[in-house]
Structure 1
Amino acid sequence: MATKPHQGVSDVLRFRYLGPHEIDELAGLWTAVHERHTAVAPHLEDVITSVDADEAWRRRRKQYLDWLADPNTLAVVAERAREPVGYAMVTIRESQQGSWDRGERVGVVQTLAVPEEHTATGVGSGLLEEVRRQLGELGIREIELSAVATSADDIRFLEQEGFRPFVTTMVCRISGVGAHD
């Protein structure tokens, strides 16, 4: 449990781990992520075809269920006063040995969801602290987390949390190929 000094009971951040049968609890929080991605990435409209929030959740829900088939996947919800205020979905993958020694396995934060009304309240930091603790207990020493390139606030937050740019992923549309082939 992460707490700040002098917080009241209703301000205490608590963590709960979800199984596949509880995944629908994340739908509303995912919608906030989808809306944020859409808002901070208008430059991608000619490259990536956006879908509505319901379709985005349908797709992400399926991906979450696939990931949760692996017992090492973490779905952790942050709650204040028993209300969900954010979550992290974390997978573990084998490290790709190359130019860097990253250990045998790497934690990948697939989603860090904190709705705008809960930003700057310790939710994101608390979730990352909990993820670090859990992954550290598994002997994992590195975490990957992607952010939309134009989301300066998210990037600044992640840098404050100790993350550093590593790989830049570029995307482009292949002309003549439909979006829904």
Structure 2
Amino acid sequence: MSTRECSDGWHAVLRTIPVDEIASVKHLWLELTEYHWGCAPEVSALADPVDAETSWARRRAQYEGWSSESGWLLLGATVDGQLVAYAAARIVAAASSRSFGSTLGKLETLVVRSTHRGRGIGMLLSEHVERHWRTFDVSHGTVSIIARNSGAQRFYERFDAVEYMRTFYFPV
């Protein structure tokens, strides 16, 4: 557990969330899901959004499965005793035409409650995730964002992130 001061004088307490407490991030996942529904309306032409509970059940199952992997990290940030943000990260084998090393860090989720954005909490979580990856000799990380989420793009560019790949969905 570590405590860091946020940009506006608040204190955020960062702590690893154990697998038996995965459900504690549900409210944040649901907020992110709702945001994603609004960010990419064009995808609805291909597939309707799943309901919130189904989305959470699927993500929870992924977190539980990933939790047994070496390098898994579920990190929460609390302010005034309330969980207001979390990051879910893991380490995956690298298969690329670039020399990123044998493994890559993969940031699966980073969400900060809308009422707490802009205070440096996402930056604190991201910096902690990067330190975690370095303990596993990971030299590069990846994150996927919704194409129209310009705020997320600006956020990751502060970490010197560059766009490298794009994912397209299509009917078959």
TM-score range, shorter chain: over 0.9
- Mapping for residues 19-34 of structure 1, pairs under 5 Å: 19-34=18-33
Question: Does the aligned pair in 1 maintain the 2:6–2:119 contact within 8 Å?
Answer: no
Q: Return the letter of the residue paired with 1:87.
A: Y
Aligned to 1:179: none
The 8 Å contact of residues 48 and 173 in structure 1, kept in 2 or not, is answered as no
Partner of 1:177: none
In 2: Cα distance, 1:6 partner to 1:63 partner: 34
Question: Aligned-pair distance for 1:156?
Answer: 1.4
Provide the secondary structure at the position in 1 that maps to 2:45: coil
Query: Residue 3 of structure 1 corresponds to which residue in structure 2?
Result: 5
Compute the RMSD of aligned alpha carbons: 1.5
**TM-score, normalised relative to structure 1:** 0.88
> Which TM-score applies when normalising by structure 2?
0.93
- Does the Cα contact within 8 Å between 1:125 and 1:161 map onto a contact in 2? no
- 2:54 corresponds to 1:55: yes
Q: Deviations over 1:74-118 (max 9, x none)?
A: 00001112211110111111111x421001111100111112212
User: Which of 127, 130, 133 is the aligned partner of 1:129?
Assistant: 127
**Partner amino acid, structure 1, of 2:154:** R
Aligned to 1:178: none
Greater share of strand: 2
Partner of 2:143: 145
Q: Is the alpha carbon distance of 1:2 and 1:28 closer, same or farther for their aligned partners in structure 2, counting shifts above 3 Å?
A: same
State the one-letter code of the partner of 1:44: V
Q: CA deviation at 1:5?
A: 7.1
Aligned partners of 2:71 and 2:133 also within 8 Å = no
* Greater gyration radius: 1
**Structure 2 alignment gaps of length 5 or more:** none
**Cα distance between partner residues in 2 of 1:21 and 1:139:** 28
Pair 1:117–1:172, CA change in 2 (3 A)? same
1:54 and 1:4 mapped to 2: Cα distance?
32
- Equivalent-residue separation in structure 1 for 2:123 and 2:77 (angstroms): 11
Q: 2: CA distance between counterparts of 1:14 and 1:58?
A: 27
Runs of 4+ in 1 over 4 A off after TM superposition: none
Q: How does 1:155-174 map to 2 (within 5 A)?
A: 155-174=153-172
Name the CA distance, whole Å, in 2 between partners of 1:83 and 1:151: 26
Structure 1: which 5+ runs fail to align? 175-181
- Equivalent-residue separation in structure 1 for 2:7 and 2:150 (angstroms): 29
By how many angstroms is 1:6 displaced? 7.7
In structure 2, the CA distance between the partners of 1:116 and 1:101, relative to structure 1 (3 Å rule), is: same
> How many pairs does the alignment contain?
170
